[in-house]
Amino acid sequence: MVLLLIIIPGRNYIDESIELAKKIGAEVLNVKYKVFPDGEKYVRIENSEKIMGKPVIISNTMYPSQNDSFIETLMLINASIKANASRIVAYIPYLAYSRQDKVFLTGEPVSAEIVLKTLYYTGIDCLITIDIHSEQVLKELNKCFYNIQVFDILFNNVKHLVNDPIVIAPDKGALNRAKYLADKFSLQYDYLVKERDRVTGEITIQTREIDIRNRDIVIVDDIISTGGTIAEASRKLIEKGARRVIVCASHGLLIGSAIDNIKKAGVLKIVLANTLGIRFQDPFIEYVDVSERIAKILLEVLK
Amino acid sequence: MVLLLIIIPGRNYIDESIELAKKIGAEVLNVKYKVFPDGEKYVRIENSEKIMGKPVIISNTMYPSQNDSFIETLMLINASIKANASRIVAYIPYLAYSRQDKVFLTGEPVSAEIVLKTLYYTGIDCLITIDIHSEQVLKELNKCFYNIQVFDILFNNVKHLVNDPIVIAPDKGALNRAKYLADKFSLQYDYLVKERDRVTGEITIQTREIDIRNRDIVIVDDIISTGGTIAEASRKLIEKGARRVIVCASHGLLIGSAIDNIKKAGVLKIVLANTLGIRFQDPFIEYVDVSERIAKILLEVLK
């Protein structure tokens, strides 16, 4: 069998790219990574003559070392073009800068737009990503993209830990994520509202409609960064009578003492997709391989 | 007097941008730089309402921290667009990745092309740079650019150290630089040829035509990185009877023990343009401010 697809693994995502390649019967081309004495990055795709006339999948993720990964991803795209790829699809499960998706304060850039535009201008034909913070920037570019949700896969791995849970979004912005998961498993869902008492200054967090007393909870969110939002939400939910709380997130950056803080808030388990170039070795955290879903999408895009 | 031009200083080039602003009567807008806990960069242009309808000069340089500077420069461009700049000119004296300007080995990217294309696609109308390694990539983009030479300004500051010198390019690629300086001061010029003896394996470096015995020498080059080329060339020239050797370079990265190596090779002085975000405090090195020439170009571009 002649392999017709080529996967080029980014430095942040080598093992995962090899796994993905197996699932779609693609050939993995090794990449030589180097740093020059002045700090400039260098990449070279080995056996690049195999690229000629074939579709190429650049598979990399943009955490950690966002800026370096960005440049290296652009280099792999450019090198594939120079090697005469017929089409280039980028699979970038985690897109850096996706939270700076509008001008919140005058004088700010829309960094998410910079990253996305640059990927397309450098030469990708289509982008596959997992649960981008907001799809809006991507939509406005009017290019081929697939923004994949995996909360059902994540939850499937831990559903034995909870009984008929309510799916909770920690804020209104994540409500579509809660709905996605709730619909798949016929669960109730809601989002949390943060309110500050004008007299006492006290912050209360509460669900909009559903009574959470003695109920199990699945909190869903796209990115856990320092974990402040998740820890606060979990603590308040448990204070208000929730029973067991587990967390499903697409991207677990878990910076600093995030894991400890979420543990202390009473969370039973965090379930994460394998979207990043780091993995925390802690039984509290469960990683779920989502490459099967990505493989299906890739075969659809490239068919 | 109403200020009509805006300069936005990049993090690598703040003092130099302020100096340049004085020379063209531009207003400097302060930029707030921040790093998020996950490592993502953030910029915010203060008083950005002043940008509306005006030409903006983004003034930054891409050494050190090439990849961070790249992203930050793109952010400043994007933020200026969001703030409704009428035109955007980037002054980037040192462009990172400019030496990877072709596919030297199959499977490589043309990193210089990535950097330049991205700057234009992100929104600059014109680029001003100093002595790019090779103009070819820039030319092929077919956009507005000014590639400025400053060897005459550099040499003017140290010409009292030498007597009727020969201008020497360390290789054929730098010959146009030697010619540029030689023509301005009516000097002789030549380039060095490196040859390996097929029998003994010994490397010899020699000038093509001009007898250098008892002559003073000015070596010119675009970038001094680890300094190997300059040190080797200087040593060989002195061995062959050259009297005094000084070095004029546009960009002095001077990595590791570069300065010591060049000193040991017998060089009298290195003269550099102020194109980088670092400065070595060593009397052996002289920095020359080239902002007056850049100011003239800017006023011409923006008139």
B296, part of any domain: no
Domains contained in chain B, number: 2
**B221, B270: one domain:** yes
Instruction: Provide the pairing of β-strand A217-224 with A203-207.
Output: unpaired
Point out the domain boundary residue: A118, A148, A178.
A148
Instruction: Provide the pairing of β-strand A6-9 with A55-59.
Output: parallel
Quick one: pLDDT at residue A3?
A: 56
Please, which residues have CB within 8 angstroms of residue B183's CB and are 6 or more apart in sequence?
A: none
Residue contact A39–B66, C-beta within 8 A = yes
DSSP helix/strand/coil, A9: strand
**A272, A184: one domain:** yes
Point out the domain boundary residue: A148, A174, A189.
A148
What residues of chain A, 95 to 114, have a C-beta less than 8 Å from chain B?
Answer: 96-97, 99-100, 103, 105-111, 113-114
Which whole number is the average pLDDT over A163-192? 96
Q: Is B136 on the interface with A (CB under 8 A)?
A: no
pTM for the model = 0.96
B278, part of any domain: yes
Residue contact B109–A82, C-beta within 8 A = yes
**A115, A127: one domain:** yes
Active-site residue flag, A194: yes
Q: Is B253 on the interface with A (CB under 8 A)?
A: yes
- pLDDT digit string (tens) for B187-239? 999 999 987 778 887 767 777 778 999 999 999 999 999 999 999 999 999 99
Neighbours of A199 (CB within 10 A): 5
CATH number of the CATH domain containing A190: 3.40.50.2020
**B60, B93: one domain:** yes
3-state secondary structure chain B: CCCCCEEEECCCCHHHHHHHHHHHCCEECCEEEEECCCCCEEEEECCHHHHCCCEEEEECCCCCCHHHHHHHHHHHHHHHHHCCCCEEEEECCCCCCCCCCCCCCCCCCCHHHHHHHHHHHHCCCEEEEECCCCCHHHHHHCCEEEEECCHHHHHHCCHHHCCCCEEEECCHHHHHHHHHHHHHHCCEEEEEEEEECCCCCCEEEEECCCCCCCCCEEEEEEEECCCHHHHHHHHHHHHCCCCCEEEEEEEECCCCCHHHHHHHCCCCEEEEECCCCCCCCCCCEEEECCHHHHHHHHHHHHC
Residue-number span of the structural domain to which B181 is assigned: 151-289
pLDDT at A1 over 80: no
**A45, A82: one domain:** yes
- pLDDT digit string (tens) for B29-86? 999 999 999 999 999 999 999 999 999 999 999 999 999 999 999 999 999 999 999 9
Point out the domain boundary residue: B98, B128, B148.
B148
**A261, A179: one domain:** yes
Contact yes or no for A261/A228 (Cβ under 8 A): yes
**A124, A242: one domain:** no
Please report the ipTM that was assigned to this predicted complex: 0.96
**B10, B128: one domain:** yes
**A165, A76: one domain:** no
- pLDDT digit string (tens) for A106-134? 999 999 999 999 999 999 999 999 999 99
Residue contact A68–B67, C-beta within 8 A = yes
